[in-house]
Structure 1
Amino acid sequence: MTMREHHLDEIKLKLDSLQRQLREDVQKLDDPQARALFETSAEVLKGLHTAFEHYEKKHEAAWEDSEVKVETKQTKAKEQTGSPKTSSPTHG
């Protein structure tokens, strides 16, 4: 397991844990607004967990070629500023 995969798993576990806690606490609350807040928060965390899974599995178009986009941006930046290998200081 890579470091990235380890961190993704840790975050997903924390999101799941907090989501479960919020859903359990909803049953303990009498205030309808607080119940709605806890339930909405649990749904948002569920969405975040799904987003992490999609990133991990590259299910969304935004994640599929993110590495290619970064490399392309870096290459363009080097072309605009000039690569250090092509520029050499003049000694005189």
Structure 2
Amino acid sequence: METKFMLIDGKFTAEEAKEVLGNLLDFKIQFHNKENFSSEIRKGVKNQQSLARIESLTATKKALFEYLEEFPNTDVLTIFSEIQIKR
């Protein structure tokens, strides 16, 4: 069974896109930092999955911001993001 939810469906300037997408990525990075910290406190070991996600999300954010730098802020970008949940 799969369910989909629309997360982002709109038009943004490059600066707005950086703010919206950057905040989403930052939230996910913070989530995994907390997961790793919790694992270190509770189990005494780092959460390797969270560390890998932090690295991946940080690289994604860097690449995304570099890509968005190519557009003048007068351009309007259409951005879609969908959440898919599978059971």
Alignment partner for residue 12 of structure 2, among 3, 6, 27?
A: 3
Larger Rg: 1
Unmatched runs of 5 consecutive residues or more in structure 2: 1-10, 72-87
Alpha-carbon separation, structure 2, partners of 1:7 and 1:53: 9
Aligned to 2:79: none
Aligned to 1:23: 33
**TM-score, structure 2 normalization:** 0.54
**TM-score, structure 1 normalization:** 0.52
- Name the SS of the counterpart of 2:13 in structure 1: helix
Alpha-carbon separation, structure 1, partners of 2:44 and 2:28: 20
CA RMSD of aligned residues (A): 2.4
Give the percent of matched residue pairs that are identical in Structure 1 and Structure 2: 11
Per the TM alignment, residue 7 of structure 1 is displaced from its structure 2 partner at its CA by 2.9
Per the TM alignment, residue 31 of structure 1 is displaced from its structure 2 partner at its CA by 7.8
Aligned length, in residue pairs:
57
Aligned to 1:36: 48
